[in-house]
Structure 1
Amino acid sequence: MDKIDRMRAFALVAKNASFTVAAQRMGRSARLVSKYVADLENALGVQLLNRTTRSVSLTDVGATYLTLCEPLLDGFDELEDRVRNEQTSLRGVIHISAPTGFGALRLIPSLAKFAEKHPNVELDLKFSDRRASIVEEGLDLAVRIGPMRDSSLKVRQLGRMPLVVCASPAYLERAGCPSHPRALASHECILDGNMTEPTVWRFSISGHEEAVNVNGRFRMNAPAASARLAAQGAAIARCPAYTVADALNSGDLVELFPENRVSPYVVAALFPQNRRITTRVRALLDHLAGDPALCPDGKR
């Protein structure tokens, strides 16, 4: 009997707490899956699962064994995937989350190029300005801009994105143009609800990063909407460069303090630490990281 089948049967039973579900996943009978697990326990000389007529649970040694065997199973599956894909095209579904504005303006054109090269790959896109839970929502990867706060996820840097402080000519004519970042304290500013400190904007002043306190009546969690509001003359905004590039080129917005920009935010793809990365997801990551049109505003 193949040891990989024994380990896979055990892992599926353990994760689903069910011999029946594990059997369905493997395409085998529940009796055969039970035999696989029993043979594995006999070979190891330990009990991996507690069994009753109503439930299945891990023993302490079973929990340890599951932790150790899952990477081995993932590695074996990856090996088979890579060998198969040497001879066949990539196929399957990739589940992706990204910020709404960045997804529509920058990610979609890059994904279109990827999809053209790999016609058998399906792309399931979820655009939202909230931070999606990658593991709970079953995502393969999430594209994010800014500080990467979740240390439980792996990070692949895709590019860099400057933050731009800007206002419309109409606002500057009405309220006056601030002569220094500190002067923003007396201006109407749009606060970003995605930030940990929405009322603190940071600038590079005389070679040092300095925090400037700002305030305003508008608080928003969508950068593209903040840029649109600023272009209407309502207030001063601080937005990722991709949201204001067209408005700056057309003159609808004017950048303030370009010489005081702080280090650009990182644009990155995040994915689970303990999940096997399939060949199709790895191919997508390589494609995004190598696409200069994804983040043309910041140096890679």
Structure 2
Amino acid sequence: MDTIEAMRVFVNVARHTSFTQGAKQSNLSTKLASKYVRQLESRLDAQLFYRTTRSVTLTETGRAYYERCLPMLEQFDELEDLIQHRQKELSGSIRLTASTGFGSKELIEPLLAFQKQHKEVRVELLLSDSHIAVVEKGVDIAIRFGKLQDSNLIARKLKDMRVVFFASPDYLSLNGRPSHPRELIHHNCLLFRSSNDSKNWHFNIDGQIVSYPVSGTFNTDSPRAITNMSIGALGIGIGPYYAVEHHVKSGELELLFEDMEVEPMGLYVVYPENRHLTARVRALVDHLVSWFKK
């Protein structure tokens, strides 16, 4: 048994709390992944997982082993990357997470360019409109909007992103076009749940940041969902400009309060401060920073 390979399988199963998903991450069958873990447990003479028909969870010993496996595998990857870097060829896997809308649209072109340049690098893109725990899930880098709340992450800025307000022509025709944010109290506002203060929208009025309470019949953590509901004339939406740019240009949506927008929020690529970046991860971070600066 290849101990390093078995450790990788064990870590993947632990991350996903699933032999099926862990095996998929390891490019193995579930049966073979289970065999690797059993052999590892036999070699260590210790039980690493509690197994039931519905769940897989780490034992106390398994948790301790998992925490020690991560830095060892990172050091092993770093050693391989050092050799690969000297040979000018990057390989291996990168786990990257981003929001669904941004990751499936704005992130694809730079990732495509990166993978065409580094054909041996495998990228696993995890899309979620909820923040994925970077360290706990073994994510190498994440794309995040706004101020970072996790002080254990290092951030490099990619670009600024406008936060805009919008509605469809049909909604405005039926309900009127608000000329001032105070009028939002009379409108159905589509709430972005991932915001720190989703029930108060903020505006720059005469150089001062002023908040106005809003309410509505729909809330979600997906900018794309808010965009589509707005196109359907349900209400007034808020979200990053990238999510609505195409629909604004096509006339499906109209921007509101453009002269009252607050400062753009930052878009960042982040990674754990205590993790030494492998050559392939560092290369992707540098590539993204360079790409979005253009």
TM-score normalised by the shorter chain: which range applies? Answer: 0.7 to 0.9
Distance 1:261 1:170, change over 3 A: same
Q: Is 2:161–2:265's contact at 8 Å kept on the other side of the alignment? A: yes
Post-superposition Cα deviations, 1:175-199, rounded to whole Å, max 9, x if no partner, equal 1000112221221100111112111
- Residue identity in the other structure for 2:90: L
Aligned with 1:188: secondary structure? coil
Structure 2 match to 1:104: 104
Structure 2 match to 1:4: none
Aligned with 2:179: secondary structure? coil
TM-superposed CA distance for 1:146, in Å, is 2.1
TM-superposed CA distance for 1:106, in Å, is 0.5
Structure 2 match to 1:263: 263
- Within a 5 Å distance, the mapping from 1:238-257 to structure 2 comes to 238-257=238-257
Structure 1 match to 2:237: 237
- Within a 5 Å distance, the mapping from 1:105-124 to structure 2 comes to 105-124=105-124
Structure 2 match to 1:7: none
Post-superposition Cα deviations, 1:93-116, rounded to whole Å, max 9, x if no partner, equal 000111001001111111011100
Distance of 1:158 and 1:104 partners within structure 2: 17
TM-superposed CA distance for 1:75, in Å, is 8.5
- Residue identity in the other structure for 2:93: V
TM-superposed CA distance for 1:88, in Å, is 3.0
Structure 1 match to 2:224: 224
Distance of 2:243 and 2:219 partners within structure 1: 17
Aligned with 2:217: secondary structure? strand
Aligned with 1:197: secondary structure? coil
Structure 1 match to 2:50: none
Structure 1 match to 2:24: none
Which blocks of at least 5 consecutive residues in structure 2 are unaligned? Answer: 1-36, 45-60
Aligned with 1:235: secondary structure? coil
- What is the TM-score of this pair, normalised by structure 2? 0.73
Structure 2 match to 1:129: 129
Distance of 1:267 and 1:182 partners within structure 2: 29
Which blocks of at least 5 consecutive residues in structure 1 are unaligned? Answer: 1-20, 31-54, 59-65, 293-298
- Residue identity in the other structure for 1:281: V
Aligned with 1:255: secondary structure? strand
Post-superposition Cα deviations, 1:254-287, rounded to whole Å, max 9, x if no partner, equal 0001111111111111111111101111110111
- Residue identity in the other structure for 2:149: R
Structure 1 match to 2:190: 190
TM-superposed CA distance for 1:148, in Å, is 1.2
Structure 1 match to 2:174: 174
Distance of 2:236 and 2:184 partners within structure 1: 9
Distance of 2:86 and 2:178 partners within structure 1: 59
Q: Is 2:81–2:90's contact at 8 Å kept on the other side of the alignment? A: no
Aligned with 2:216: secondary structure? strand
- Within a 5 Å distance, the mapping from 1:1-300 to structure 2 comes to 78=78, 81-82=81-82, 84-292=84-292
Distance of 1:243 and 1:224 partners within structure 2: 6
- Residue identity in the other structure for 2:210: E
Post-superposition Cα deviations, 1:38-88, rounded to whole Å, max 9, x if no partner, equal xxxxxxxxxxxxxxxxx8xx9xxxxxxx9xxx89x9789758734641323
Aligned with 1:219: secondary structure? strand
Post-superposition Cα deviations, 1:4-39, rounded to whole Å, max 9, x if no partner, equal xxxxxxxxxxxxxxxxx9xx8xxxx99xxxxxxxxx
Distance of 2:132 and 2:273 partners within structure 1: 16
Distance 1:173 1:120, change over 3 A: same
Distance 1:76 1:102, change over 3 A: closer
Query: RMSD of the TM alignment (CA)?
Result: 3.3
- Residue identity in the other structure for 1:178: P
Q: Is 2:92–2:121's contact at 8 Å kept on the other side of the alignment? A: yes
Aligned with 2:239: secondary structure? strand
State percent identity of aligned pairs: 38
Aligned with 1:93: secondary structure? strand
Distance of 1:151 and 1:111 partners within structure 2: 27
Aligned with 2:274: secondary structure? coil
- Residue identity in the other structure for 1:259: D
